[in-house]
Amino acid sequence: MPNQGLTTTWGAEEWSAYILEHLTTASVLLRSGCRGVPITGRIAHVPRTLTDGQASWTAEGTEIASSAPTADELVLTPKALKNVVALSNESVADAPVDELQAVGDALVRSIGAALDTKALSADVATAISPAGLLSLALTAQTGGTTVLDSYISAAGKIQAVGGLPGAIYLNAADMTALRLVKGGTGLNSYVLQPDAQAAGAEKLAGCIFYPTPALPAGTAVVADPSQIVVGVRQDAEVRFSVDQRFSADATMARVVCRVDVGVNDFRGVVKVTA
């Protein structure tokens, strides 16, 4: 197991496990249980089944009818997310280990935020960045993002096709409006209650709410997280170098991560709007 703190060697190996742990925390998509697919090449072709086929009741000794599953592939092309910061050598020498790890935390949070912002956008794919989930042909649910019924109906659409809805991604303003929904006129009890198994986590229709600035108010996503695929060719990795800023007596800290995002079964992801 690699050392999870900074050492005098300042090598990538000492940081890799530390960064992996905190990238999951920094990104709501990864924290919610989206399916990670490790990628070793430039492009990954991930086989996926579209139907299960259909078994049929058959008399003994008669030919069995064939109803084979249909399939295609999900193509993932990891793109690079990067960030860099300069640190004075004096501050590095004087800082305790936990303060230096805060630099890694900040760099990884920037990667997690950028991943969520792109993945939950309506942006189309470019040569340097993946397409956002909202640019895809997702199932639609209207009714508004500050109405609990919208999320219950969206979760029901996923369950109707055999999915397991488990996550609701929404803007913090919409989350606040939902928290203020009371049980009835004149009552002071609120409808949403924290999940007893996860401190502070509100649930509805089996889904945990994940507030995120990556989505604008008025747009939310209900999902079976296992149907959102995050292809990772290079886990977020922090490296240090004293060479580039040698004349300035500074050390450069750099984080690099290569990822792509896709959907396995579009029926497992529902876009909620007004």
pLDDT digits (tens, 9 = 90+) for 50-82: 888 888 999 999 998 888 888 889 999 999 999
pTM, rounded to two decimals: 0.81
CA distance 41 to 6: 30
Note whether 130 and 79 are within 8 A (CB): yes
**Is residue 1 in some structural domain?**
no
**Is residue 242 in some structural domain?**
yes
Q: Can you give the residue range of the structural domain that contains 232? A: 12-48+71-272
Q: What is the model's pLDDT at position 105?
A: 79
Q: What is the model's pLDDT at position 196?
A: 58
**Is residue 61 in some structural domain?**
no
DSSP line for 224-254? -GGGEEEEEEEEEEEEEESSTTGGGTEEEEE
pLDDT digits (tens, 9 = 90+) for 237-267: 777 776 766 667 777 888 889 999 999 999 9
**Is residue 206 in some structural domain?**
yes
Q: What is the CATH number for 263?
A: 3.30.2320.10
How many structural domains compose the chain?
1
pLDDT band of residue 197 (cuts 50, 70, 90) is: low
Strands 203-204 and 207-211: antiparallel
**Is residue 63 in some structural domain?**
no
**Is residue 7 in some structural domain?**
no
**Is residue 55 in some structural domain?**
no
Average pLDDT, the chain: 84
pLDDT digits (tens, 9 = 90+) for 121-149: 999 999 999 999 999 999 999 999 999 99
Q: What is the model's pLDDT at position 13?
A: 36
**Is residue 79 in some structural domain?**
yes
Q: Is the pLDDT of residue 171 over 80?
A: yes
